[in-house]
Structure 1
Amino acid sequence: MNFPTVFIDGDQGTTGLHIHDRLRDRADLRLLTLPPGERKDPQRRAQAINDCDIAILCLPDQAAREAVGFIRNPEVRVIDASSAHRTQPDWVYGFPEMAQGQAQRIAQARRVTNPGCYPTGAIALLRPLAQAGLLPRDYPVAISAISGYSGGGRAAIDAHESSGTPRVPPSQVYGLALEHKHTPEMQQHAGLASRPFFVPAYGAYRQGIVLTVPIELRLLPAGVDGERLHACLARHYADERHVHVMSLADAQAMTHLDPQALNGTNDLRIGVFVNEEHGQVLLSAVFDNLGKGASGAAVQNLELMLGAM
């Protein structure tokens, strides 16, 4: 039997290593890897990409574009985990739960671009509400998120985990120039008319994200309250395996959000916290930045693409 061949280009980076760990014991596919001395050889990389059925690119943006340029075999399909193609119209956005039919589009696609970790949470919260007309597309969206330091890649991991490095602060807000590369992706795929205000941070823990979006009910269409926002999100994700919406009662009983609560899974949990007296709602998404935010999402997309072969 000829099993599909999957090549991970960049399998020594944080995301690539986690994808490799998820796939290495699979008996239904052949995992193609290059020896250490050949991983940066353009000719060997090009050969491997053209010899596989599905290539997963775990590379910096420019290297990912270069890898796509290597492809001469029209049968090769690609999942790009970089941000190089996330707003490109000829690439299918790899967030299966984002919209009706998106999983089928991914399954049939030749080119799939994996979402960024922060955009996964933001789009999960905002797109269903914008599509339903409950959140005006010109709403002044503000997004705050804190991620485990693994979101900063190998350099950040080394800074926190190597004994010889200087002490790292317990929390660091960054992106202060308001030019974070995930922001255009959030705007486009959430269906917003204007650029959201995005403030990211890293915490002194390895992985996991809490992302929040505050909503002022007075700025929404007449009659839209917290219950309607919750009902819209619950309906949108009712049949989804990996995205869950907490009940309003469960959310009301919570006193804090743990960014590490879903580590090691491919799940995303949505909360809607309502204060009707003040006319305010807080939307939240909790998920693993190395799971649903990276390697888990790539493997989920791979499963969809393999199922269509």
Structure 2
Amino acid sequence: MTATVFIDGAVGTTGLEIADRLAGRAEFDLIVLDDERRKDADARREALNEADFAILCLPDDAAREAVALIDPASGTRVIDASTAHRVATGWTYGFPELVGRAVVAKADRVSNPGCYSTGFIALLAPLVRAGLLPADWPYTCNAVSGYSGGGKSLIARFEQDLDIAWRGYALGLGHKHVPEMQAQCGLSVAPLFAPAVVPAHRGMVVEIPLPISAIAGASSPDALRDALAAFYDGSKIVRMGRDPEDGEMLLRGSREPSDAMDLFVFASTDGSQARLVAVLDNLGKGASGAAVQSLNLMAGLDEAAGLRLPNL
């Protein structure tokens, strides 16, 4: 049976990439509004309530307004790609590998994880849950992303000003991803998060440095690596990466779209220090790919259907 899907905010970067992943798939029929009707509240309300699934690719306030337009009796199930509901009561966090595929499959309200959050949580949450790293350590997270994650205005800025080599932001330490990072990892202390943007259209590297010898109760890098490998064993989407032979990692401007995420544990020879690293596509597992993964599960399909999963 074909399910109807309405992407509210379909002309934005995330919406366009979701539509691209759904194109040609017989399982879904997209409800599409023309340019004039997509700005009309009545037309949007009708589409939201007609759809089996509504995917919200909107700013936070607009996402909340869209949810309010949905009649509970309509049966419309929602995936919200904004920040609005990521720590909200009654919403399922759309990270199937962490919260459980069955939990996402039966959910009516799913909040898509943030792109940076996806890498941080994928690395740290399983290790804290297993007691291999403490929940009360003041973790730091350093990350760089391609500029497409900032939406149309940042894309235009980077493509017009070719002299930008690095853009650090959230210097007031109030980045909107921090609450979900803390909540999903069960941390008693909010992580210190240092994000930046580089002149690549897509791609993301998220790192958690660990002074193992200074962290009471921390396990060895080998134990951390083994635990992550076991946690994600069998996943087509989250994989343990192969350590680079030349001792370096590159984020290339020509990177192809990918809905996979690769995890790494690098360590000093004596094991006293480690670097947890996640490499993903900010528009893939960090946004559109994650939304389609949840949609697949909610529709009773293989979670990887229609996703771009290149080999390691």
1:102-121 matched pairs, under 5 angstroms: 102-121=100-119
* Residue deviations 1:142-191 (CA, integer Å, cap 9, x gap): 00000001011111111223xxx444411111110000000111000111
Q: Which residue of 2 aligns with 1:218?
A: 213
- CA drift of 1:239 comes to 1.6
Contact 1:262 1:286 in 2 (8 A): no
SS of the aligned residue for 2:96 comes to: coil
SS of the aligned residue for 2:295 comes to: helix
SS of the aligned residue for 2:173 comes to: coil
Partners of 1:108 and 1:40 in 2: how far apart? 31
Q: Which residue of 1 aligns with 2:93?
A: 93
Instruction: Give the residue type in structure 1 aligned to 2:204.
Output: I
Q: Note the aligned Cα RMSD (angstroms).
A: 1.6
Matched, 1:253 2:248: no
SS of the aligned residue for 1:98 comes to: helix
Partners of 2:207 and 2:251 in 1: how far apart? 11
Partners of 1:59 and 1:223 in 2: how far apart? 40
In structure 2, stretches of 5+ residues that fail to align are 302-312
Which of 284, 294, 307 is the aligned partner of 1:301? Answer: 294
Matched, 1:69 2:68: yes
Contact 1:262 1:287 in 2 (8 A): no
- CA drift of 1:36 comes to 0.3
Partners of 2:87 and 2:217 in 1: how far apart? 33
Deviates most, 254-263 or 76-85 = 254-263
- CA drift of 1:262 comes to 6.7
Matched, 1:241 2:240: no
Q: 1:221 to 1:254 in 2, by over 3 A?
A: farther
- CA drift of 1:259 comes to 3.0
Partners of 1:200 and 1:153 in 2: how far apart? 16
Contact 1:134 1:221 in 2 (8 A): no
Q: Which residue of 1 aligns with 2:51?
A: 52
Aligned length: 299
- CA drift of 1:24 comes to 2.3
Partners of 1:6 and 1:155 in 2: how far apart? 27
- CA drift of 1:89 comes to 2.5
Contact 1:159 1:168 in 2 (8 A): no
Q: Which residue of 2 aligns with 1:34?
A: 33
Q: 1:166 to 1:190 in 2, by over 3 A?
A: same
Q: 1:19 to 1:69 in 2, by over 3 A?
A: same
SS of the aligned residue for 1:27 comes to: coil
TM-score normalized by the length of structure 2: 0.92
Partners of 1:254 and 1:92 in 2: how far apart? 41
Q: 1:50 to 1:276 in 2, by over 3 A?
A: same
Q: Which residue of 2 aligns with 1:175?
A: 170
Instruction: Give the residue type in structure 2 aligned to 1:17.
Output: L
TM-score normalized by the length of structure 1: 0.93
Instruction: Give the residue type in structure 2 aligned to 1:154.
Output: K
Which of 152, 155, 180 is the aligned partner of 2:153? Answer: 155
Which of 257, 266, 274 is the aligned partner of 1:264? Answer: 257
Partners of 2:92 and 2:218 in 1: how far apart? 35
Q: Which residue of 1 aligns with 2:223?
A: 228
Instruction: Give the residue type in structure 1 aligned to 2:278.
Output: A
Instruction: Give the residue type in structure 2 aligned to 1:300.
Output: Q
Q: 1:202 to 1:180 in 2, by over 3 A?
A: same
SS of the aligned residue for 2:113 comes to: coil
Q: Which residue of 1 aligns with 2:82?
A: 82
Partners of 1:195 and 1:60 in 2: how far apart? 24
- CA drift of 1:29 comes to 1.5
Partners of 2:168 and 2:83 in 1: how far apart? 21
Contact 1:262 1:268 in 2 (8 A): no
- CA drift of 1:251 comes to 2.3
SS of the aligned residue for 1:289 comes to: coil
Instruction: Give the residue type in structure 1 aligned to 2:46.
Output: Q
